[in-house]
Copies of this chain bind each other. A is one copy, B any other.
Amino acid sequence: MREYYSITELTREFDISTRTLRFYEDEGLIQPVRRGRTRLFRPSDRHLVKQIMRGKRLGFSINEIREIIQMYREPPGEVGQLKLMIKRIEEKREDLRQKRRDLEETLAELDQAEESCVERLVELGVNT
C-alpha cells in the first residue's frame, strides 16, 4: 500500500479534475494532509474518493454522500447517537433498495425494447 498519492494521480485514476478534488475537500468530504501547500492523499483519502464516485454514480447529492460517509466512520459512543445512526443507516438502505427496484424495472424495459428492435431486424430479413 502506497503512502501518498498526488492530486494528479487521483484525477487520472478516477477521471475527475483537480478542481473537483479541491471542491470535495472544501465540502469536508476528504482531508488530505499537506506538505507545504501541496496536498498529499493517503490510501484512506483515496478510498473515500472511491466511495464518493460510487455515490455520484448512484445519483446521490454531495450532502447525501457526506451523510453516507459519516455512517462508515467509527460509531459514536453514546447510546442515543448510536440508535439514531442505526435508524439513518436503515433509511439509506431503504433508499438503495428503492433504487434497486427502479434499476431492475428499467433493465427489464430495456430488455423488452431491445427485443423489439431485434424482432424488427428479423422482419427486415437482416442476418443477425
Interface size class on chain A is 35 or more
* Cβ B71 vs Cβ A102 within 8 A: no
Report how many copies the assembly holds. Answer: 2
Question: How distant is the Cα of A46 from the Cα of B96 in the complex, in angstroms?
Answer: 24
Provided the pairs A57-B99, A106-B55, A107-B93 are in contact, do residues A79 and B126 lie with their beta carbons within 8 angstroms? yes
> CB-CB contacts of A53-84 with B at 8 A, as 1s and 0s?
01111111000000010011011110100110
CB neighbours (8 Å) of A99 from chain B are 57-58, 99, 103
Question: How distant is the Cα of A60 from the Cα of B124 in the complex, in angstroms?
Answer: 33
- SS class, residues of chain A in contact with chain B: helix
* Cβ A118 vs Cβ B86 within 8 A: yes
* Cβ B59 vs Cβ A60 within 8 A: yes
Question: Is A44 an interface residue when CB atoms closer than 8 A count as contact?
Answer: no
* Cβ B100 vs Cβ A103 within 8 A: yes
Smallest CB separation, A88 vs chain B (Å) = 10
